[in-house]
Amino acid sequence: MKILVAGGAGFIGSHLIDSFLKEGHEIVCVDKLIFGDNNIRHLRSDKYLQESGRFKFYEMELANQDHVNRILTENKIDAAYHLAANSDIQKGGREPSIDFNDTLLTTRALLEGMRMANVRNLFFASTSAIYGEMQDIKLTETTGGLKPVSYYGGAKLASEALISSYVSMCDMSAVIFRFPNVIGPRLTHGVVFDFIRKLRMNPHELEILGDGTQCKPYIYVLDLIEAIVRLTKEFKPGEEVYNISVRSAGTTVTRIAEIVTEELGLSDVVFTYTGGDRGWKGDVPRFDYDISKVLSTGWEPKYTSDEAVRQTVRDAIDAGM
Ligand SMILES: NC(=O)c1ccc[n+]([C@@H]2O[C@H](COP(=O)([O-])OP(=O)(O)OC[C@H]3O[C@@H](n4cnc5c(N)ncnc54)[C@H](O)[C@@H]3O)[C@@H](O)[C@H]2O)c1
């Protein structure tokens, strides 16, 4: 298959591309390189991939309709994976236009481009943030009355709604994946990344946002990629939504701090708390996913939430962080 990966230079997108290339697919990667091209440099410098045309890269703004149209005219795409979005939710909270452009308008431009180029199959990276604050119930794919509490969550839920309308109006098919927190090698943001960075600067004290009891599931990125690849193989026409997560309970922020300090070989680190039940406005302090639908496909995550955190710290140390 010839696969377009929007946001393919990012943390998750680059792992997905590595996996698809191993499976023999051809990749068209599009990204405006907010975090640079570190994650795809190995592909851009691979002579065989370049000469065979199995990996093509476009550095482009995906919210721009002309750009998207050009890519879809130049390449006959079988399926598009849309992973481009703002991943810095706090930054988006300070400046809503970031989520509007990178999270929502990219979806609009891609859908419209697909409609015009007759590309029928879309896989979309959505998020637990679309559920908003529903702390006391197990969230299933059919849970309704959703009220996102961040611009990011709002832009993702609006994207899901647009996708549904294109599926219905243009006979497209779509698979929507709702990820929890994703961690692992090549991570560029999030609590594990922040803690390592802060402790490298000051190994005696760690400031923790909120009261440390925020508790969420963390999935290891390679487990997530396996789920996406499996759901790609099981793909059927129409629209499907999957919560993807770990089997175990979530990990608290204080527990993450403990694992990070242990793995960095630090003792006597003083944890200080900024207080309150959440890290920042727009943060959802806890949620619990029902993942029976994805488990029924036979996919099984290898790591628990705690193990994923521990492995991610080891990966970061191996990468020289
Ligand atoms: N990482 C997580 O914990 C997590 C959780 C839930 C959902 N997701 C979703 O998964 C997807 C991938 O996340 P990630 O962690 O790899 O993020 P990332 O920031 O590492 O990757 C996103 C990529 O999209 C690109 N991009 C953003 N806006 C663009 C635009 N307007 N034009 C072109 N390129 C653009 C960025 O340059 C970046 O390379 C995102 O859609 C994200 O919302 C991630």
* Ligand 1 centroid – CA 9 distance (Å): 9
**Does 32 sit in the ligand 1 pocket, CB within 6 Å?**
yes
Rounded Cα distance, 229 and 19, in Å: 8
Of 19-23, 115-119, 161-165, 231-235, minimum mean pLDDT range: 231-235
| Among candidate residues 107, 253, 244, 243, the one with its CA nearest the CA of residue 190 | 253
* Ligand 1 centroid – CA 256 distance (Å): 23
* pLDDT tens digits, one per residue of 163-173: 999 999 999 99
Rounded Cα distance, 189 and 295, in Å: 28
* Ligand 1 centroid – CA 253 distance (Å): 22
Ligand 1 atom closest to 182 (CA): 3
Is residue 101 over pLDDT 90? Answer: yes
Q: What percent of the chain has pLDDT over 70?
A: 100
* pTM for the whole structure: 0.97
- What pLDDT was estimated at residue 66? 98
**Does 8 sit in the ligand 1 pocket, CB within 6 Å?**
no
Query: Mutation test of ligand 1: which of 11, 17, 160, 186 has the most ligand atoms closer than 8 Å to its C-beta?
Result: 11
